[in-house]
Structure 1
Amino acid sequence: MKKETQVISPRQFAFILIGFLIGSASLFIPESIAGRDAWIATLAAGFLGFLPLIFIIQLNKKFKGLTIIQYSQLCLGKFLGKILGFLFLVNIFFVSTLIVEDLVLLFNISIIPGTPEIILRLGLVFLVIYALFSGIESIARLTELYILPLIFLLLILPLLTIQEVDFSLLRPVLADGLKPIIAGTVVALTFPFAEVAMLAMILPTVREKKNSAKIFYLAYLISMILLVIRTILGISIFSADLAKKMLLPTYQMFRLVNIGEFFNRVEAFFIFIWVLGFFTKLLATYYGIILGLSQIFQLNNKNSLIIPLGILIIFLSHFMMPSSGYFLYFDTIILPFITIPLNFFYPFILYIISLFKKF
């Protein structure tokens, strides 16, 4: 099996990991279905999401230079490994389609309202196609541009919105029992925490370095803390009932900021950072799909898949998501049944097999 060339540093991968988790998820609070206890759901899902990260890091150590598509065939046999690997790529494809819809929603609400959605989809996918011909390094370089500003903005958000916060909206804790929290945990695990398993397609390109795993775990922990802060602020500013109904609650939080001339339009800068976050996540998932398909079908040139896949994403995103209401329904009700088995249990099974099978 052909091994991937190690071209990005552990620090760059850590930035990709943070961007993958918070670049898009910081904009939404899907676990708000848990009500005032949504922050508990975020926390629980965050801890559970550590598991697939541990699995793919350990598998990457054992199968150096190989993607999850390749070592799946070693663990499960060529036929079953390819079948499950293909389903894993279908899972990534769904996420790519949803990212396109996230971006279309963001553009239509906050940047260029009224623009035909098909025009936005065409423009976004064209930019991704252009960037991907530059290789995985383009994702790493782009992520380095915006991660630190994004982290800074999310960290100062509590200070900027302190006058709007009412922590009494978080009480009473556990008043509605565990059922809403479990539902919220499942949604938050689906998006974004378990999605970290998709980075198994990029992890083999990371140059080996001592303590790399600790850097990745720290990056994940930072992401989890920032998303818990996002959830707490969303509920304590808007209330649980209102947060459930809002499409872009974090964007609305930044619109509340008005501190002098410099900060009175701070959401404009945050939108720019968000767009970069969405874009790099779309690049990462897109790259993972074309790489995985080229390995399953043994293609010599994975770049030959870039344009056909882009056309498919445009077509399916246009017809799969006819409205924002259906988009939210698909994201919270349907998607967990697709992504949790493939992002959580699939790496777990491969990890267990790798412990007992000799290679």
Structure 2
Amino acid sequence: MHDPGKISGLQMIYLLINVVGATALVFLPGLTASIAGRDAWVAPVLATLPGFYVILVITALGRRFPDRTIVQYIEKLLGPWLGKIIAFCYVLFFLHVNGVIVREFGELVAAAIMPQTPQVVFSALMVAVCSYGVYHGLEVVARVMELTYPLMLMLFGLILILVSGHMQLANLFPMFQSDFKTIIRSSLNPISWRGEVFLLGMFFTYLARPDLARRNGIIAVLVIGLLLTINAIACTAVFGVSTGRFNFATFELVRLAGFGTFLNRLDAIWIIIWIVGIFGKVALFHYSTIMGTVQLLRLKDHRSIIVPLSILLIALSLSQFKNLTDMLAWINGPWIPYAYLFEMGIPTVLLLLAFLREKSASTGNPFKPKSTGISGKK
């Protein structure tokens, strides 16, 4: 696989913010409010701590294996057979989750502006554009995010200003009306989405300053937590407990912000910029799928598998859910333990194994692992 270039610290922060925020900003306010009501804003706050944990684990592994991705050092830590099986499961995880993301994109665009257009059109167009970006390397995707993400944050701030007149602080009170168990349950989904920052393990080796990865990762998690909390508070302040009735609460907020102003079509502007954010998220997962496949199969070039994996991604996005209700049920159910396993569970085990091997090597254990000479770059 050709060298994808180097990722700067700022680009890394934008990539990690976007990999969570691109979809969480849209879906989480309604999902958490349907459980915790007006206390939904607490969920993204609680999810921030597990986000820190994921960054600490992934960067600790990255420092121990600076020339390898998570797919590569799994095999080193777990052995050739079990390692290949788990690494293959990770590739399937990247592909499967990306199929859900592409479907989320299609569902929102269909609901917002093009309800009569078949889902296959949205999926094919998004995957085609992302495949083009992946073909030219991860640095291209990182540069797109570096150029556009400040615009997305500025637009988000403008939306909050325009909608401030519709906010009613009374909708936020009484606080903590839900019991502790309910609030914890509402945070399970945000934690699973926050854990997506573990994708750093797939491009850690391409960071220009890997020594700053932990600091930049913590900054990204903090910004994500701040954005999601502010978004949840804004939705609740405007819609009250009715927030849980909206599948796309943030989009309803955008519509309200533009209504009756000179920015009457603010929702269209937001959709355009949000599509760029989805491009970044889909492209990063697609890149991880392709990179993982190349490294797992020891291929020399990634270009030959872009088309078949892209077709598989489109088919997966169309086939796994019957409709939006079916997709949201999966996100609120099986997705949570599924994400915890790959984002936190397995990386934690890998870090423990790496620590034990280091300890045994320092005491002269004859089973000290030997370097295989596998490089993180193909």
Deviation at 1:306, TM superposition (A): 1.2
Of 139, 142, 147 in structure 2, the residue corresponding to residue 140 of structure 1 is: 142
2:292 — aligned with what? Answer: 292
2:215 — aligned with what? Answer: 214
2:227 — aligned with what? Answer: 226
1:91 — aligned with what? Answer: 93
Residues 206-262 of structure 1: per-residue CA shift (max 9 Å, x gap)? 11265443223212211210011111111221123x222212111110111148754
Counterpart amino acid of residue 114 in structure 2: I
Counterpart amino acid of residue 226 in structure 1: L
> Following superposition of structure 1 onto structure 2, how do residues 145-164 of structure 1 map, counting pairs within 5 Å?
145-164=147-166
Distance 2:311 2:260 in 1: 45
1:28 — aligned with what? Answer: 27
Deviation at 1:153, TM superposition (A): 2.3
On the 8 A contact 2:258/2:267 being kept in 1, the answer is no
Counterpart amino acid of residue 345 in structure 2: F
Deviation at 1:199, TM superposition (A): 2.5
2:364 — aligned with what? Answer: none
1:7 — aligned with what? Answer: 6
Larger deviation: 294-303 or 41-50?
A: 294-303
| RMSD across aligned positions (CA) | 2.0
Larger deviation: 277-286 or 157-166?
A: 157-166
1:238 — aligned with what? Answer: 239
Deviation at 1:167, TM superposition (A): 2.5
Distance 1:250 1:76 in 2: 43
SS in 2 for 1:290: helix
For the pair shown, the structure with the greater C-alpha radius of gyration is 2
Counterpart amino acid of residue 66 in structure 2: K
Distance 2:187 2:92 in 1: 23
Deviation at 1:6, TM superposition (A): 5.3
1:81 — aligned with what? Answer: 83
Deviation at 1:193, TM superposition (A): 0.1
On the 8 A contact 1:15/1:219 being kept in 2, the answer is yes
Residues 299-342 of structure 1: per-residue CA shift (max 9 Å, x gap)? 22222221111111221221211101001011111111211111
Counterpart amino acid of residue 25 in structure 1: A
1:170 — aligned with what? Answer: 172
> Following superposition of structure 1 onto structure 2, how do residues 314-353 of structure 1 map, counting pairs within 5 Å?
314-353=314-353
Counterpart amino acid of residue 133 in structure 1: Y
Distance 1:175 1:110 in 2: 33
Of 53, 56, 61 in structure 2, the residue corresponding to residue 51 of structure 1 is: 53
Structure-2-length-normalised TM-score: 0.88
Distance 1:284 1:45 in 2: 22
2:188 — aligned with what? Answer: 186
Task: Classify 1:172/1:201 alpha carbon distance in 2 versus 1 (closer, same or farther; 3 Å).
Answer: same
Deviation at 1:65, TM superposition (A): 2.0
Counterpart amino acid of residue 137 in structure 2: G
Structure-1-length-normalised TM-score: 0.93
Counterpart amino acid of residue 153 in structure 1: L
On the 8 A contact 1:128/1:283 being kept in 2, the answer is yes
Of 61, 65, 68 in structure 2, the residue corresponding to residue 66 of structure 1 is: 68
Larger deviation: 223-232 or 206-215?
A: 206-215
SS in 2 for 1:27: helix
Deviation at 1:88, TM superposition (A): 2.2
Aligned length: 356
Distance 1:304 1:224 in 2: 39
Task: Classify 1:210/1:90 alpha carbon distance in 2 versus 1 (closer, same or farther; 3 Å).
Answer: closer
1:255 — aligned with what? Answer: 255
Counterpart amino acid of residue 227 in structure 1: L
Larger deviation: 82-91 or 44-53?
A: 82-91
Deviation at 1:16, TM superposition (A): 0.8
Counterpart amino acid of residue 329 in structure 1: A
Q: For structure 1, which runs of at least 5 residues remain unmatched after alignment?
A: none
Distance 1:323 1:78 in 2: 40
Distance 2:216 2:55 in 1: 12
Distance 1:81 1:39 in 2: 40
On the 8 A contact 1:194/1:343 being kept in 2, the answer is yes
Larger deviation: 250-259 or 62-71?
A: 250-259
On the 8 A contact 1:3/1:66 being kept in 2, the answer is no
Residues 259-316 of structure 1: per-residue CA shift (max 9 Å, x gap)? 8754332222211111001111000000001111111222222222211111112212
Counterpart amino acid of residue 22 in structure 2: G
Task: Classify 1:180/1:188 alpha carbon distance in 2 versus 1 (closer, same or farther; 3 Å).
Answer: same
On the 8 A contact 2:4/2:136 being kept in 1, the answer is no
On the 8 A contact 1:4/1:66 being kept in 2, the answer is no
